[in-house]
Amino acid sequence: MNPKVYASLIFVTMLSMGLAFPVGRIGLDYAPPFLLMCIRFVAAGLLMAAFTARRAKPKDVSSWLRIALIGTLNSAGIMGCSYYSMRWISSGESAILIFVNPLLVILFGALFLKARYRVVQWAGVALGFAGVFSTMGAHLSMNPGTLISLLGACCFAASTLLIKRWGQELDTWVLTGYQMLFGGIVLGLLSVLFEHPRIELGSGFYFSLAWLVLVNSILQFSGWSYLLKRGDPAKTNAFLFLAPFFGVIGGAVLLGEPLHAYVAAGGAMICAGIFLVNWRGTAPRSAATTARQA
């Protein structure tokens, strides 16, 4: 891939990932979090379902159940927790905590899949969790928003491992569209059970919803999939640390959220930890590693 094209796609994709948090926070002034995310994912899922109408669909119930589980974790779990957490913490803090995901993938992979990792990756895990500690103000008292956002990061890690395990059996575009649709349905049920669904129409709502559906749910995924297929997946994933950085900066620019020194320090440590987790040194000539690491 042309280096300039690659760099441009990386920048645009990471920027859109990060801005999903402050832009979504704008939408929360018009609709509660579960309802807003329900509308986002149902709309995006229906658009993707129409786009993939002629592509091969799963014919067995087990595959559809797998798609539903991935959607529950990936769409409902991650973004539902992230946006709900913004009742207590800023969009920048939520972005930082959600993108602890690569660090949790290492932990979950070692615990449940018996995966083996190098010392430098474990160092990244330690540095990343130190960054989480700093982000919380270097104290152990956690408010509900922190815990909910960390739960979203756990959903992120779990869905990553499941997609790695089952993704090869499913058409990528079909999986994406229908997991968003299933996730949106779950979020709709959560809204009915735990919220007082209401929508206040306004320019902020239209802008937020259009951005979340078109940019974050469709264009972002398309760009990210293109990068993973055309470039080195391990190298590409190492750039995920840029997303929380853009989330924090976007929160400051769009919402006027303060940039506390401890949040910036925690974000820098988490970014460094994620980079170490994804970084791959020079492999022996006889055994070069090209495995994908989310």
Lookup: tokens for 108: 């979950």
Provide the pLDDT for residue 229: 62
Amino acid letter, 281: G
Provide the pLDDT for residue 235: 62
Report, as an integer, the average pLDDT of 237-255. 80
Contact 70, 175 (CB under 8 A): yes
Q: Which is more confident, 58 or 107?
A: 58
% of the chain with per-residue pLDDT over 70? 86
Provide the pLDDT for residue 288: 34
Q: Which is more confident, 249 or 38?
A: 38
Q: Mean pLDDT across the chain, nearest whole number?
A: 81
The torsion angles phi and psi of 209, rounded to 5 degrees, stand at -65, -45
275's CB contacts (< 8 A; 6+ apart) are 124, 238, 241
Provide the pLDDT for residue 39: 94
Provide the pLDDT for residue 139: 53
Within 195-289, where are the H helices?
203-210, 220-230, 233-237, 242-255, 261-278
| Whether the predicted pLDDT of 27 surpasses 90 | yes
| Whether the predicted pLDDT of 284 surpasses 50 | no
- The helix/strand/coil state of 231 is coil
CA-nearest of 19, 11, 13 to 247 is 19
Give residue-wise pLDDT tens across range 85-136. Answer: 888 888 878 888 887 777 777 777 777 767 777 888 788 878 877 877 776 6
Q: Which is more confident, 234 or 252?
A: 252
Max intra-chain CA distance, the chain: 61
Provide the pLDDT for residue 280: 62
Provide the pLDDT for residue 285: 38
Q: Which is more confident, 222 or 203?
A: 203
Q: Highest mean pLDDT range out of 116-130, 167-181, 230-244?
A: 167-181
Q: Which is more confident, 145 or 231?
A: 145
- Going from the C-alpha of 275 to that of each of 209, 234, 241, the distances in angstroms are 31, 11, 7
Provide the pLDDT for residue 287: 31
Q: Domain-by-domain residue ranges, the chain? A: 3-279
Contact 55, 171 (CB under 8 A): yes
Model confidence at 138, pLDDT cuts 50, 70, 90, reads: low
CA-nearest of 2, 11, 64 to 223 is 11
Report, as an integer, the average pLDDT of 134-153. 75
% of the chain with per-residue pLDDT over 90? 26
Lookup: tokens for 138: 């270097």
